[in-house]
Chains A and B, each alone.
Chain A
Amino acid sequence: MAVMEHHLHEASGARRHLPMEYRDVHQSLRILGFWLFLATDMLLFACLFATYLVLRTHTDGGPTPRELFDVPGFTAETFILLTSSFTGGLATLAMRNGKKGQLIGWLAVTMLLGLSFVALEAQEFVKDALEGATMQRSAFLSSFFTLVGTHGSHVSVGIVWMFLTLLQVLRRGITPITARKVFIVNLYWHFLDVVWVFIFTIVYLSGVVM
């Protein structure tokens, strides 16, 4: 928006050295807005983690973390999500290099990895529920399913969002606007990877150890 034309006059030459998604001030403003959103989302997860940490021992005689967690399952989920964060990064790289075909390819790969992550997680949840470990069983399970499920629904939203972004790149190519959109959706994706790192550390690995 031209609320900021005065910057633009000075900036058209000076912004050349910046990465693509930052060259237009309006896009760079939105990237800042999105970083701020990530900061608030981080606090959302902080509260869910806090709840989990407080309630994880409250198993009410039901399944304990150690009985519940399936090591190969969460190892596979971890590996898939880490890899998808990498392929998302490659999509940003392709965008910066102006390679539309590569960009679309890496976005598609990232989405597929995301889908398989969500599928594995859903399978894990269904298996737990069938064994009687539902979120209604105990406070520990309520907080476990809510924390991990919130992350999973974030990932699902990310997949849909990435798909919408991909459609726009297909239709419009790499423009300052679509470049910014690709950058932001990948920021979101990397952020979810970081959250997952804490989930496998604080929930799964600690649960198996204790």
Chain B
Amino acid sequence: MWEGFRHFADTYLMWNEGPLIWMSDVLILLTSIGIVAVLTYFKKWKWLWDEWLTTVDHKKIGIMYLICALLMFFRGGVDALLMRTQLALPNNHFLDAEHYDQIFTTHGTIMILFMAMPFIFALFNIAVPLQIGARDVAFPYLNAISFWLFFFGALLFNISFVFGGSPDAGWTSYPPLSELAFDKGPGENFYLLGLQISGIGSIATGINFMATILKMRAPGMTLMRMPLFTWSVLAACVVIIFAFPALTVALALLLLDRIVGTHFFTILHGGNPMMFINLFWIWGHPEVYIVILPAFGVFSEVVATFARKRIFGYGSMVVALMAISVISFFVWVHHFFTMGAGADVNTFFAVATMAVGIPTGVKVFNWLFTMYRGRIRMSLPMLWTVAFVPCFAIGGATGVMLAVAPADYQYHNSYFLIAHFHQVLIGGTVFGMLAGMYYWWPKMFGFLLDERLGRWAFWFFNIGFYVCFMPQYALGFMGMQRRMYTYPADLGWGTLNFISTIGAYLMGIGFLFMVAQIIYSIRYGQRDLTGDPWDGRTLEWSLPSPVPHYNFAVIPTVEDRDYWWVLKQQGRTQELRPRPEEIQPIHMPKNSGRPFLMGVAFFVAGIGFVFNWYVLAVLGLLGVVACMVARAFEYDDEYHIPVEEVQHTEAALGRL
């Protein structure tokens, strides 16, 4: 009995690994008990189920994505601080090699797939239907499924930390290291299945928003009148639906290698590990454009709003977005120039990579020209946008350096590369997502985030960023390679590494300020009573904050780009107020618990495959099938909001 427990604890709970795991277990246990206790004490279980777990409302789904993204930002950030602490001094043994491997793996995976992806999806959900004048996305039920697949995929990945062991083959998970022969543990399986499940959700989101944008626009909202954020989402969706299948295949084939014993990527029996790398980057490179394009969209909205000018070169912005989304499929080999595919291959992909710089440059100049002679207000969203420009420009320039194939043999996998992609991903995506969060926060919650604390957060994070990553360019040139867990003292890397660690901690303090800012603002933040706190330009600002769940009582008819701004200039804002006689009953989709249950079923199946418990896996998959069959026979999935209720809501908001 005791031996059995001991075996279980050591194998699955890793209690033999020491105090860090024990502490995490205790913290997780306490947090869980706390959540359950609070929900029970305030009798909120039913509220949680009715209002959140079963919702198909795009605004609530967006908020749930945002919460997950911020939590994952925290987890990924803690991983980063652990790594920087380990590297602060030469010959450090704060972490051992094995734990260091696990931490850089989870840091990378979480930041890309479970932080950046839900963050962009949060903004998709919150802004797109409101910007195009729709009442929800094209497929609200599918949207809920997407969220819960992401959620349970992320949960499956994260649970490996305290149950079974974390993956440790890097976020790119290259074979043969990630093959069964070299990586027995369940961690790698957690990686493969967590990503697979959330990846299916991402594909569904891509299809959903593409259909929404193409088909659900309000009358008069022609493509060339769409806000640029919506355009950027369309461009990102193009990339999602064509790139994610490659990830699905890469993960599935590696999983087959591990659990069925096939030989796609093994060294023996004719397998070719480089084929995984090829497939992974067919997805992986477009993926970085998936997370950067929506950030570009946010910057376009923010720049126009806070410079109080129409965006400069709207048409060229659209062309640039679409060009980036297509060219992004023809650059993937630059991640493995050193494979030695030959001068012809490397030249093609080097040139294609550099070509992406052209539309990107067009966009940067357009933002600058929009700001030129504008009456700029340096509110928080604008602050992050202004900080983005130089940061991304440096990151882009070092990217072009890396794109030179012969030179890449020198930079490859060095800290120069690390500094480069952190500069574009943080300076581009993270700054963009934070700008977007600040920008749409009042629309989501009805209050603004505190400006003063936000500035502290901004400066700590920004200064911290440069202190952290500029030394890493130099370290790369000095020969420091990525993923090394420690280094000897006589290489002269100590000082720069120590500085870099200080920068990482400054960024951590910046994040804490953001947390403080959110908590403070919930209580004391300025309430948004007008629905238009930034003097905005697009349709979402014509609605009250937070938006009623049917969004538009009467669907507007759009006559111009930046229509809300135009109406304000002409004193015609009353036209977007609903008139009582125009209000008609509104059909809305019913809530459903099935997407949540389907996520649970996927999770159960995932656990089953991770540990090769096939009975559990089959049970989980049967649950998935049951959900789909039940959906096929569901016909009554809508309800009406009667006219009186709409009128009542609108009157209470003072809009009638």
Q: Tell me if B263 and A139 are in contact (CB < 8 A).
A: yes
Q: Which of the segments A15-23, A47-55, A95-103, A117-125 contacts the partner chain?
A: A47-55
Q: Tell me if B136 and A48 are in contact (CB < 8 A).
A: no
Q: Tell me if B279 and A43 are in contact (CB < 8 A).
A: no
Q: Tell me if B262 and A146 are in contact (CB < 8 A).
A: yes
**A139 interface neighbour in B271, B555, B586, Cβ under 8 Å:** B271
**A36 interface neighbour in B241, B249, B638, Cβ under 8 Å:** B241
Q: Which A residue's beta carbon lies closest to that of B207?
A: A36
B residues within 8 A CB of A135? Answer: 256, 260, 262
Q: Tell me if A164 and B216 are in contact (CB < 8 A).
A: no
Q: Which of the segments A3-11, A70-78, A104-112, A186-194 contacts the partner chain?
A: A3-11
- Give A32 to B237 CA distance when docked, in angstroms: 14
- Give A135 to B615 CA distance when docked, in angstroms: 23
Kindly state whether residue B603 has any CB partner on chain A within 8 Å. Answer: no
A residues within 8 A CB of B266? Answer: 139
- Give A51 to B264 CA distance when docked, in angstroms: 8
Kindly state whether residue A209 has any CB partner on chain B within 8 Å. Answer: no
Q: Tell me if A142 and B262 are in contact (CB < 8 A).
A: yes
**A33 interface neighbour in B207, B272, B633, Cβ under 8 Å:** B207
B residues within 8 A CB of A7? Answer: 219
Kindly state whether residue B397 has any CB partner on chain A within 8 Å. Answer: no
In the complex, per-residue mask of B230-267: 1 if CB is within 8 Å of any chain A CB, else 0: 00000000000111111011100100110011111010
- Give A196 to B101 CA distance when docked, in angstroms: 43
- Give A72 to B218 CA distance when docked, in angstroms: 56
B residues within 8 A CB of A29? Answer: 138, 211, 215-216
Interface residues of B in 274-288 (CB under 8 A from A): 275, 278-279, 282
**A47 interface neighbour in B142, B203, B246, B261, Cβ under 8 Å:** B246
**B269 interface neighbour in A36, A41, A60, A161, Cβ under 8 Å:** A60
- Give A3 to B30 CA distance when docked, in angstroms: 43
Kindly state whether residue B588 has any CB partner on chain A within 8 Å. Answer: yes
In the complex, per-residue mask of A24-59: 1 if CB is within 8 Å of any chain B CB, else 0: 000001101100110111011011101100110011
**B272 interface neighbour in A46, A55, A137, Cβ under 8 Å:** A55
Q: Tell me if A146 and B253 are in contact (CB < 8 A).
A: yes
Tell me how many residues of A have a C-beta within 8 Å of chain B: 44
A residues within 8 A CB of B632? Answer: 161, 164-165, 168
Among A37, A142, A146, A168, find the residue whose CB has the most chain B CB atoms closer than 10 A.
A142
**A1 interface neighbour in B244, B246, B555, B587, Cβ under 8 Å:** B587
Q: Tell me if A4 and B214 are in contact (CB < 8 A).
A: no
Quote the shortest CB–CB distance from A144 to chain B (angstroms): 11
- Give A5 to B278 CA distance when docked, in angstroms: 46
Q: Which B residue's beta carbon lies closest to that of A60?
A: B270
Interface residues of A in 122-156 (CB under 8 A from B): 135-140, 142-143, 145-146
Kindly state whether residue B60 has any CB partner on chain A within 8 Å. Answer: no
A residues within 8 A CB of B249? Answer: 44, 47-48, 51
- Give A55 to B615 CA distance when docked, in angstroms: 32
- Give A124 to B555 CA distance when docked, in angstroms: 57
B residues within 8 A CB of A6? Answer: 218-219, 555
Q: Tell me if A3 and B275 are in contact (CB < 8 A).
A: no
Q: Which B residue's beta carbon lies closest to that of A135?
A: B262
Kindly state whether residue B601 has any CB partner on chain A within 8 Å. Answer: no
Q: Tell me if B219 and A164 are in contact (CB < 8 A).
A: no
Q: Which A residue's beta carbon lies closest to that of B584?
A: A5
Kindly state whether residue A2 has any CB partner on chain B within 8 Å. Answer: yes
Quote the shortest CB–CB distance from B248 to chain A (angstroms): 6
Q: Tell me if A58 and B272 are in contact (CB < 8 A).
A: yes
Quote the shortest CB–CB distance from A136 to chain B (angstroms): 5
Kindly state whether residue A177 has any CB partner on chain B within 8 Å. Answer: yes
Given contacts A139-B269, A168-B633, contact A39 B241 (CB under 8 A): yes
Interface residues of B in 205-226 (CB under 8 A from A): 206-208, 210-211, 214-216, 218-219
Quote the shortest CB–CB distance from B555 to chain A (angstroms): 5
Q: Which B residue's beta carbon lies closest to that of A28?
A: B215
Quote the shortest CB–CB distance from B270 to chain A (angstroms): 3
- Give A58 to B263 CA distance when docked, in angstroms: 10
Among B134, B211, B282, find the residue whose CB has the most chain A CB atoms closer than 10 A.
B211
Q: Tell me if B262 and A136 are in contact (CB < 8 A).
A: yes
Q: Which B residue's beta carbon lies closest to that of A42?
A: B245
Kindly state whether residue B139 has any CB partner on chain A within 8 Å. Answer: yes
Q: Which B residue's beta carbon lies closest to that of A31?
A: B211
Q: Tell me if B555 and A5 are in contact (CB < 8 A).
A: yes
Q: Tell me if B241 and A40 are in contact (CB < 8 A).
A: yes
Among B203, B241, B256, B270, find the residue whose CB has the most chain A CB atoms closer than 10 A.
B270
Kindly state whether residue B454 has any CB partner on chain A within 8 Å. Answer: no
**B279 interface neighbour in A3, A50, A140, Cβ under 8 Å:** A50
Kindly state whether residue B635 has any CB partner on chain A within 8 Å. Answer: yes
**A55 interface neighbour in B244, B245, B248, B264, Cβ under 8 Å:** B264
B residues within 8 A CB of A36? Answer: 207, 210-211, 241
Kindly state whether residue B26 has any CB partner on chain A within 8 Å. Answer: no
- Give A58 to B272 CA distance when docked, in angstroms: 9
Q: Tell me if B242 and A43 are in contact (CB < 8 A).
A: yes
A residues within 8 A CB of B135? Answer: 1-3
Kindly state whether residue B491 has any CB partner on chain A within 8 Å. Answer: no
Among A5, A41, A172, find the residue whose CB has the most chain B CB atoms closer than 10 A.
A5
Q: Which B residue's beta carbon lies closest to that of A47?
A: B249
Among B249, B272, B586, B633, find the residue whose CB has the most chain A CB atoms closer than 10 A.
B249
Kindly state whether residue B341 has any CB partner on chain A within 8 Å. Answer: no
Quote the shortest CB–CB distance from B260 to chain A (angstroms): 7
B residues within 8 A CB of A37? Answer: 207
**B208 interface neighbour in A4, A33, A146, Cβ under 8 Å:** A33
A residues within 8 A CB of B138? Answer: 29, 33
B residues within 8 A CB of A172? Answer: 635
- Give A153 to B270 CA distance when docked, in angstroms: 26
Quote the shortest CB–CB distance from A46 to chain B (angstroms): 7
B residues within 8 A CB of A177? Answer: 635
With A29-B211, A60-B268, A142-B256 already in contact, 16 other A-B pairs whose C-beta atoms are closer than 8 Å: A1-B136, A1-B587, A2-B135, A32-B211, A33-B208, A39-B241, A40-B207, A47-B249, A47-B279, A47-B282, A55-B270, A58-B272, A60-B269, A138-B263, A139-B264, A142-B271
Pick 12 A–B contacts, CB within 8 A, sort by A. Answer: A1-B638, A2-B587, A5-B586, A33-B139, A36-B210, A44-B249, A47-B279, A60-B269, A135-B260, A142-B257, A146-B262, A164-B629
